Structure 1
């Protein structure tokens, strides 16, 4: 049985959230932390679904890719049921499909593929040359000046305790400046220890992969996800896990948005270790719809 989601450090709460309760073979139950959200954070569902799938595969097989759709907003007040379909157990790869269910309806589904370690060709794109995490988002005058002038929603977002610490390279771009490049670099780090378990580490990577992405599609339009005139939500999410990665140091999340049209924005991301090793790639499309307003 899973540990209840209990008060503790933000990372302890996240690990408790990811520790699903087993109801029956292939059937698991997850809960959400009660932190005042109106809907479940998409990264939480990604991480929990990965944990559910990983509990049905051989110990020596690890996730290398996932493809998912967010169908309905999750309700944080009730548990989420994860139903795992064992699609295939092959000689080299294992495939699982996971359906997340609330109120009798699917809110999310994911297909994930698992593969054992084996040798092969190895190359990766280089990490961009950016400021080190110690040089950005410090408790200095620039940060205080930014937060003092930022809207309340943005100020509360950056001051809130969280399991993943975020240090965007250019903090002042977060409110959105018209004409800004549709790209960003964000250092991310777990705020507490993560056990040396590759399935759990992949789930935490899945959790953090949903952070900050959609804002990248809004930068060049002079706005952000904090704009209350916008309806913003993740629609789909794909992720490729290239190399195992410990979570005891900073990761650089390099993001760009190649396109926005039809009330949707597409974003891409690459996750690098501080040493420049590419560990994962992400792609996501999200809804960025302007809300209807009454005509006076």
Structure 2
């Protein structure tokens, strides 16, 4: 893949198929229907952030009469693993169009069964009170090792994916989880940026932030356990994702993820994040719960 970002932008440009004429799993007659392909992943499964972003794009495409409305929140549930070998169909139910807000329910469907169900709310740009807090202190991204610095020269599918094939560059302030267990901590700071310029479309930048964040949302839980990604027997899968956009964002500028491990129990972990722009503005907040099965300590 010579240009991962360009490929991702093509994947997010869904094909419009019109209205659903016959009800099927996850769809109602009259729902808007779209279709999309997938970005290759070394684990052979569809990346969850991709399905979230595509579902958001599908929902936004149904706002023809309210095109100025931007997504401000969503909640999605991952229901089944995605199949990389077949397209994904997205059905959108138009729940409501009010004076200021619109709501859409989107199902991502493969093999006649939903793999994701998501509700998104959109809002007209409006004025109001401003409150954002303060960004945490962090070294400049230029002073933090990149994934390429850590994984460069390692001939392994995951190493190539994280260092070269991803549309986004990640820089972990206190060391990554790529190779070895980190010092246990319930907090994590990560710099993130797209690997090239992105068109000046505010909605596209919001969709790309949704795509990118799924890469790191559960890492604080692993870090709190002192567990690295290559740990033998480790099993991780996203269960649901909630997100709130507070302000416009540019993903081709460095963004600081301030992350915490909220809880871990019952084979599940909850990670939370606040995302800060380079000038210290809070642009988004998000939370994700996932299945996290960590092998016994003597097997690590």
Query: Which of residues 17, 29, 33 in structure 2 aligns to 1:27?
Result: 33
SS of equivalent residue, structure 1 residue 249: coil
| Deviations, residues 61-94 of structure 1 (Å, cap 9, x unaligned) | 0100000000000011100000000000111110
Tell whether the 8 Å contact from 1:154 to 1:175 is kept in structure 2 after alignment: no
1:119 aligns with 2:106: no
SS of equivalent residue, structure 1 residue 201: helix
Distance 1:167 1:44, change over 3 A: same
SS of equivalent residue, structure 2 residue 95: strand
Query: Cα offset for 1:158?
Result: 3.7
- What does 1:247-258 align with in structure 2 at a 5 Å threshold? 247-258=251-262
Question: Which position in structure 1 is the counterpart of 2:5?
Answer: 11
Equivalenced residue count is: 282
Question: Which position in structure 2 is the counterpart of 1:3?
Answer: none
Question: Which position in structure 2 is the counterpart of 1:85?
Answer: 93
Tell whether the 8 Å contact from 2:181 to 2:228 is kept in structure 1 after alignment: no
Poorly superposed stretches of 4+, deviation over 3 Å: 34-37, 146-158, 172-179
1:42 aligns with 2:34: no
Question: Which position in structure 2 is the counterpart of 1:229?
Answer: 233
Unpaired runs of 5+ residues, structure 1, are: 1-6
Unpaired runs of 5+ residues, structure 2, are: 20-31
| Deviations, residues 17-60 of structure 1 (Å, cap 9, x unaligned) | 10000011310001013454410000100110010000011111
| Deviations, residues 260-290 of structure 1 (Å, cap 9, x unaligned) | 0000000000111111111000100000024
Question: Which position in structure 2 is the counterpart of 1:206?
Answer: 210
Q: Structure 1 CA distance, aligned partners of 2:103 and 2:266?
A: 33
What TM-score, normalized to structure 2? 0.87
1:217 aligns with 2:225: no
Q: Structure 2 CA distance, aligned partners of 1:224 and 1:173?
A: 5
Distance 1:183 1:149, change over 3 A: farther
- What does 1:279-294 align with in structure 2 at a 5 Å threshold? 279-290=283-294
What TM-score, normalized to structure 1? 0.88
Question: Which position in structure 2 is the counterpart of 1:56?
Answer: 62
Query: Which of residues 137, 156, 160 in structure 1 aligns to 2:145?
Result: 137
Distance 1:83 1:30, change over 3 A: same
Distance 1:73 1:138, change over 3 A: closer
